[in-house]
A and B are shown apart, each in its own frame.
Chain A
Amino acid sequence: MPASPESSTKLSDSAFALVHATRAFGTTRAVDDVSVAFDRGRTSILIGSSGSGKSTLLRMLLGLEWPTAGEVLCDGEPLRRETLPGVRRRVGYVIQDGGLFPHLTVLGNLALLPRHLGWSHSRVRERARDLARLAHLHEDLFNRFPAELSGGQRQRIALMRALMLDPPTLLLDEPLGALDPLVRHGLQDELREIFRSLGKTVIMVTHDLAEAAFFSDRLILLRRGRVLQDGSLDDFRRNPADPFVREFLAAHRTLPGAA
């Protein structure tokens, strides 16, 4: 999707944006000339089947992958290596298995970055307590190690860790992907509630259309590194930009909303 003239004014307004960004690994382009802006305070969903480039796109926003062509903008500024630590601290990042450090307790995981930034123990603890309330997690777990927690608990703590500095943006890469359906369902409700109450910019990757539609009315469908369609589920249904969009929807026809 080429960048429209008005998108350049939108870019400075957006939390993150890609401008003709490409990430090639050898001859394959995981992300291929993508221009897209993520609005502040909104939840946007990157959706697509595996290998569509959605995770790579998300990782480009954090500088975990660098574009081989084009640019990544954060708050209108091109991402540079020097500004990376600052950008990363304004972003909370949660991955599928939580990415908790196994050698640290729950509190150790939560405290790692704040303590590096000079927070006092009591301030860390206070912040962790507040977030535990938000994430419906009992403080008793603070001294446990990740190996002693359930998958759902681990994802809650990963979210808490991402929220410790109260960043304006949350990036989530299939945060619920590894959970069983019941836990996943419960957490979807909680997460949506948290996103709404905090008013964060959220960019989330999923391959599950129902989950995508549940969280947001802005879905960005990717295929082979390109944005196929950018809009709501309704737009996808009414005006599919490509036969694949129909195909992708059809693969989810058993969902209650499609019945």
Chain B
Amino acid sequence: MNGISNEILVARHPCASGAAFAGLQPRTSKATRRASGRDGAGNPCCRLWHVVGAGLLTFAALLGLLPLVAFAQQPTVVIGSKNFTESVVLGEIARLSAREHGIKAEHRRSLGGTRILWRALEGGEIDAYPEYTGTITHELLRNVPPGASIGVLRAHLKAFGIGITDPLGFNNTYAIGMRADEARKLHIRSISDLARHPDLKLAFSNEFMNRADGWPGLKQAYHLPTDARGMDHALAYRALASGAVDAIDLYGTDAEIAYYHLRVLKDDLHYFPRYDAVYLYRLDLDERAPAFVAALNDLTGSIDAPQMRAMNKAVKIDGMSETIAAANFLGIEPESGNGSAFWQRIGDYTLQHLALVGISLSLAIVLAVPLGVLAARRRRLGQVVLGLTGILQTVPSLALFVFMIPLFGIGAEPAIAALFLYSLLPIVRNTHAGLTGIQPSLLESAAALGLPPRVRLWRVELPLALRSILAGVKIAAVINVGTATLGALIGAGGYGQPILTGIRLDSIPLIMEGAVPAALLALVMQGVFELIERALTPRGLRLRAMA
């Protein structure tokens, strides 16, 4: 949609998440070493636990390190973009222009919303990203009046070490659109002309209806006699095209304008604030990569609204890739080797997805198994633990992901935290069930032998409960593979990324690109854990199961 409204979903630089994964490893391994170290290392049976622990840790470590490897190559300049088509296209234009100027640039697409890109730019995780002047005055620089000139913005941004280019040429602000043929018939060119046609049916998005600077202000400013009704924005275009309504609110460069052959009415009273597209960049680029700054400045004044609309339409409606749309605009060839890009993409998503699932699951095992043991030992505390983890499970997954943002920011970490919380219940519950389901006579035999409780736990109780515990881990793993697709909503990447993009572009093949591997991964997880279960279950227990 647009830079004004799409601010919810944000991501941190993948390199940062990679480092965070790596940072988690030593902590995990230390904790497990301590746990397994209690049980005398010479005991033959505790080797089983060392193997289990080491296996899980290696699993987690590998998964955690993979993204690091994947993002190891450092480009000169990193460009970011927000997660809507126009921003991604502008990011690609910047990247390809840089390439034309011989600068090695990388484009981290669809990172999220304004706040995140701004933070990433300030933090140096990205070097530049496309922004809108209205967003800068409304959301980033609160002490600057709306409608401030580029010069004023430039002066204020300098304090943050951020530079701003001149406008790229189009103004992506609120606008009013009509079917082009009807507008021609009624001789309507500007919003003022609407006053002459009180019989027109107007339908505006609910947000536009309610904002003071939306419909109420517009009606007053232009003395419009008509009444308008609220309508879901996604439906508004269809309603307009079918003739059910005559005018709707839209953004100046929406792809649908070209697709539905709409006329954007001129805001002759300059009622709407300007949302001129610009690039924001780090001022240290002036020294680090002056050629890149020059390349960005070359783009100013070169993209008008129809051109931007056409590119948005090419991507969003015709299914062209953002890269090709950008290359076509610049009149250059996109990179060759697009054939391998598909598998490269799938590979990256898979690594990210595995990292989300693997790390959250490993951490959950480290906490949930002891919690399950505690719950089995202390009945009342156990009820509390099971109750709490049960409540966690009832939190809708999207809500849980969003709750994690204030605690962990944006990116892989909050997703891992949310998935971790989701993994607790099946593992705690199955550990508890496995331990409390052990024949009392066996527990008594172990006690009567004179083994201390800790040894009984490691040598008798946990091995007897192992099947149940592993079954819990398997459930958590399979559920996590599915739930992790939501991680893309908070910038965690993984298979959710193409699904999300697919939904944005209304592209079934792109949705499949994420959904099919996610389903396959869930199946693979199931299979792998069944093998692990078979390998780790002591033969004596399998015999008993047969008997």
Residues of A whose CB lies within 8 Å of any CB of B are 59, 62, 64, 84-89, 91, 93, 95, 97, 99-105, 108, 111-113, 115-116, 145-148, 161
Contacts and interface: CB of A to CB of B under 8 A. Distances in A.
13 contacts: A64-B444, A85-B450, A85-B452, A91-B448, A93-B449, A95-B444, A102-B538, A108-B45, A116-B43, A145-B539, A146-B540, A146-B544, A147-B543
Contacts of B448: 62, 64, 88, 91, 93, 99
B460 interface: yes
Contacts of B441: 95, 97, 99
Contact of B544 (A88, A91, A102, A116): A102
B449 A113 contact: yes
Nearest to B467: A103
A113 B460 contact: no
B463 interface: yes
Given A93-B445, A115-B44, A147-B547, A103 B450 contact: no
A145 B543 contact: yes
B52 to A, nearest CB: 14
A64 B447 contact: yes
A101 B547 contact: no
Interface string B450-472: 11100100011001100000000
Contacts of B452: 85
Contact of A89 (B450, B543, B544, B547): B450
A86 B450 contact: yes
A88 B540 contact: no
Interface string B526-547: 0000000000001111011011
Among A87, A101, A147, max chain B CB count under 10 A is at: A101
Chain A interface mostly: helix
B40 interface: yes
A113 B543 contact: no
Among B40, B442, B455, max chain A CB count under 10 A is at: B442
B446 interface: yes
Nearest to B48: A103
A191 B66 CA distance: 63
Contacts of A64: 444, 447-448
Among B40, B445, B451, B546, max chain A CB count under 10 A is at: B445
Contacts of A105: 540
B541 A113 contact: no
Nearest to B538: A103
Interface residues of B, number: 29
B543 A99 contact: no
A3 to B, nearest CB: 27
Interface in B27-52: 40, 42-45
Among A62, A111, A116, max chain B CB count under 10 A is at: A116
A115 B47 CA distance: 14
Contacts of B464: 101-103
Contacts of B449: 88-89, 93, 112-113, 161
Contact of A104 (B450, B455, B538): B538
A65 to B, nearest CB: 10
B442 A113 contact: no
A147 B544 contact: yes
Contacts of B546: 147
Among B447, B449, B464, B544, max chain A CB count under 10 A is at: B449
Contacts of B446: 101
A185 to B, nearest CB: 25
A113 B450 contact: yes
A107 B181 CA distance: 91
Nearest to A100: B445
A99 B40 contact: no
Nearest to B449: A113
Interface in B44-66: 44-45
Nearest to A115: B43
Given A86-B450, A88-B449, A113-B450, 17 more contacts: A85-B452, A95-B445, A97-B441, A99-B442, A101-B442, A101-B445, A102-B442, A102-B464, A102-B541, A103-B463, A103-B464, A103-B541, A104-B538, A108-B45, A115-B44, A116-B459, A147-B547
Contacts of B540: 101-105, 145-147
Contact of B451 (A91, A97, A112): A112
Nearest to B543: A147
A101 B544 contact: no
A99 B445 contact: yes
A65 B448 CA distance: 11
A95 B445 CA distance: 8
Contacts of A103: 460, 463-464, 538, 540-541
B40 A101 contact: no
B512 to A, nearest CB: 45
A21 B276 CA distance: 91
Contacts of A95: 441, 444-445
A-B complex: 6 closest residue pairs judged by Cβ atoms: A99-B445, A88-B450, A145-B540, A147-B543, A103-B538, A89-B450
A147 B541 CA distance: 8
